[in-house]
Amino acid sequence: MPHRLLRLLLIGLLIAILVLLARHGAGTVGPLSTQEFGSLAYKLAILVFLSAALLTMFRERFTQAVTAALLWVAVGLVLVIGYSYRFEVTDVADRVMAELIPGHVISHGRTIMVARTSAGDFDITAHVNGARVPMVLDTGASSVVLTQQDAKAAGLPIAMLDYTVAIDTANGRTRAAPVTLDRVTIGGLEERSVEALIVQPGQLRTSLLGMSFLNRLQSWQVSGDRLILKGYP
């Protein structure tokens, strides 16, 4: 039976080649173009070659040959399906990470998404002048607001600050120093020369992502438990 199957495949390949030669000038072979039919014949030739190789390897053990072939076909299908849905798999992984790690940013080019925490806030991991700075979204803040510790980590000259701006915080009214940040990066978004404020020591527990950054974006919105920020192309 194995040799009979191989002969049938060889006959089919020969017929395909003869038809292709006969119909070359017509441009079509039935519903297929000669190019499509040639591609089909090429794949048939590969099938014949693989069949011959399997028969040579297994000879009389035809069942084992078929089983091995089916196994490789299954592996190939898994790889093809995995590659076809690679973006969906990545998206699911990002969503899981967003739920498990507060502040984890799901970034797709110039669009990022952050999941709301169990406390109801949007914790965001940003980078200010290259330094990692945890922030909380605060749309009521007119500016990005940094704690002393985060400002120091970002390399700002905190010893030379002039606290001239009055602001309201959870600890009451205090004063802050205006500065300009070289760059603020969140995922795939980066804005330069961002206006910010640095509060006096002990007045703020976490830095705030305010409107001086959000107003630079093409759009931002809260959709359910997701914060979506979209930068200009």
pLDDT digits (tens, 9 = 90+) for 120-171: 899 999 999 999 999 999 998 999 999 999 999 999 999 899 999 998 876 6
Cα distances (Å, whole numbers) of residue 82 to 75, 79, 90? 11, 5, 11
Q: Give the total number of structural domains in the chain.
A: 2
Q: In terms of domains, do 123 and 156 share one?
A: yes
Q: In terms of domains, do 68 and 10 share one?
A: yes
Please tell me the predicted confidence (pLDDT) of residue 107. 80
Q: In terms of domains, do 23 and 66 share one?
A: yes
Q: Residue 112 falls within a domain, yes or no?
A: yes
pTM strictly above 0.85 = no
SS3 170: coil
Q: Residue 149 falls within a domain, yes or no?
A: yes
State the distance between the two ends of the chain, measured CA to CA, in whole angstroms. Answer: 62
Q: In terms of domains, do 139 and 213 share one?
A: yes
- Tell me if 168 sits within 8 A of 160, measured CB to CB: no
Q: Residue 90 falls within a domain, yes or no?
A: no
- Tell me if 126 sits within 8 A of 186, measured CB to CB: yes
Average pLDDT over residues 37-64: 61
- Tokens (6 digits) for 30: 């039935």
The confidence band for 71, taking pLDDT boundaries of 50, 70 and 90, is: low
pLDDT surpasses 60 at 201: yes
What does the longest C-alpha to C-alpha distance in the chain come to? 92
Structural domain for 225, as ranges: 100-230
